Amino acid sequence: QQQVKQSPQSLIVQKGGISIINCAYENTAFDYFPWYQQFPGKGPALLIAIRPDVSEKKEGRFTISFNKSAKQFSLHIMDSQPGDSATYFCAASGSNQGGKLIFGQGTELSVKP
Amino acid sequence: DAGVTQSPTHLIKTRGQQVTLRCSPKSGHDTVSWYQQALGQGPQFIFQYYEEEERQRGNFPDRFSGHQFPNYSSELNVNALLLGDSALYLCASSTWDRDGYTFGSGTRLTVV
């Protein structure tokens, strides 16, 4: 019930294309869903986050879509660039868990020029 | 404005030894959490400190312990190291009443 399942494990996209990464969760107490970007040798960096009271949030080229009934959320990267090549993690936490983040397994994104 | 600072960046230890990792949180943050990230995996929550007390703990054995100091900096101690403890150890800071962690670049621990 504490798991967050992420897919795909790896993704190859052409420059200018749309990258889509999906996550699913079981714990209905989760109420905060961030996405992190991690480059080799670096720690995860917060990209964008959403709460269940909205179904979509957009920041620049990054969009989170959230489906509360299906307990799924996804990250869309529009106009993908080679500089977006990194590992992406979804995560979830609940207000009753004091901010502890449960991470997905990660998606390694490669954007080809 | 300095972010989260971790030291050392790399460390090699022998099985059975003890190790201490250090973290200075981002300015203005009072809460520190530690995560273990095995190669090719997502970070796993170890524990969280606020007001110098352990507030939450993940599914890690007692060999993992920590401390938070009055200036909000923190240490992670691991005793009786096992080969399986080899990982990237990440420190993340935040304010207690708000979401959104800032992660450090981590300490790469190798146990041989």
Q: Is residue A60 predicted with pLDDT exceeding 70?
A: yes
Cα angle value B108/A1/A45 (rounded, 5°):
35
Residues of chain B with pLDDT > 70, as a percent, come to: 97
Please tell me the distance in Å from A101's CA to the nearest CA on chain B: 7
Q: Is residue A27 predicted with pLDDT exceeding 80?
A: yes
* CA B80/CA A52 separation, integer angstroms: 42
Q: Is residue B2 predicted with pLDDT exceeding 80?
A: no
Q: Please report residues of A whose CB lies closer than 8 A to that of B58.
A: 100
Q: Is residue A1 predicted with pLDDT exceeding 90?
A: no
More confident residue, A77 or B95: A77
Q: Is residue B24 predicted with pLDDT exceeding 80?
A: yes
CA dihedral A29, A32, A36, A42 (to 10 degrees): -80
Q: Please report residues of B whose CB lies closer than 8 A to that of A34.
A: 99-100
Q: Does B53 touch chain A (CB under 8 A)?
A: no
Query: Contact A6/B40, CB-based, under 8 Å?
Result: no
Q: Is residue B101 predicted with pLDDT exceeding 80?
A: yes
Please tell me the distance in Å from B16's CA to the nearest CA on chain A: 26
Q: Does B100 touch chain A (CB under 8 A)?
A: yes
* CA B22/CA B12 separation, integer angstroms: 15
- Average of per-residue pLDDT values in chain A: 93
